[in-house]
Amino acid sequence: MRLSAVIALVGSLARISPAPAQTSCVPFVPCTDNKGCPDMIVDGTQIPIDLSLGKETWTSSECAVIEGEVAAGDRWLLRFDSATPNLGPGALIIGNPLEHPEWFDLVTCHGHPHFKEYTDYRLWTTKGYEAWTALRQANPTACPRDLLAANPSLGRQLVTGRKQGFCVVDVYQYTDGVCAASKNHPTKYSSCDDMGLSVCQTDFYPAFLDGQWIDVTGLQAGDYVLEIEVNAERFFQETDYLNNSASIRVTLPKGLH
Helices (H) and strands (E) in the chain, counts: 4, 15
Detail the DSSP E strand segments found in the chain. Answer: 2-8, 13-14, 52-58, 73-79, 82-85, 92-95, 104-105, 114-125, 158-166, 172-173, 195-197, 201-205, 213-215, 222-230, 245-252
Q: Give tens-digit pLDDT for 149-192.
A: 899 999 889 987 777 778 899 999 999 988 987 767 778 999 98
Q: What is the pLDDT of residue 185?
A: 74
Q: What is the pLDDT of residue 209?
A: 92
* 117-126 average pLDDT score: 94
| Phi, psi angles (nearest 5°) of residue 163 | -110, 145
**pLDDT above 70 (res 60):** yes
Q: What is the pLDDT of residue 183?
A: 67
**pLDDT above 60 (res 2):** no
- Written as one letter, the residue type at 104 is F
**pLDDT above 70 (res 65):** yes
Q: Give tens-digit pLDDT for 20-43.
A: 333 457 889 999 999 999 999 999
Give the mean pLDDT of the chain. 88
